[in-house]
Structure 1
Amino acid sequence: MLEFFMHAFYNDQAYKLGMYGLKIVWIFPGWYAENFWQTQQNDIGCTSEQMNAAVEGSFLTSAIFYNPIEERGIANITST
């Protein structure tokens, strides 16, 4: 059984709470910066390895109208 979570708290808490691994999938909103978990921040108490472990296998979402190259999505449609 998989558990799905929408990200709704500070970036380092998932790792510290053990909320990562093979049976946990994180879904992040599209307004987050690309590779946000790799951004060095002084107020985050996790190493880059811990942050990478916490986001392994996650999904980053975005609305189709943000697709600047007009590629076809999984439903074989574009935004136009």
Structure 2
Amino acid sequence: MVSTVRYLGEVLRSGIRVTRANEARRGDFIEAVGQEHHAIPAAVEAGAAEEARAAARRHLQHAASRLQDADDGFWTETEDLDAGP
């Protein structure tokens, strides 16, 4: 179980590292991600569970699209990034 949790943690850290690097390349991504991140807790705080789920789903779909649309240079640059703590 511990090994599985460690593995999942590493996968998440790696994914976050890659998506942050992609966002840093594009100012419009930073703004879009900020808005997406804000929408999730705003819906939770409002007690709108379905809206929160939809906002989280939308964010994950947009994140996947941003990665799929990343140019070849992005993938070359991110190979050398450190995953960090």
Query: Which TM bucket (shorter chain)?
Result: under 0.3
TM-score by length of 2: 0.25
Using structure 1 for the length normalisation, give the TM-score.
Answer: 0.26
Higher strand content, 1 or 2: 1
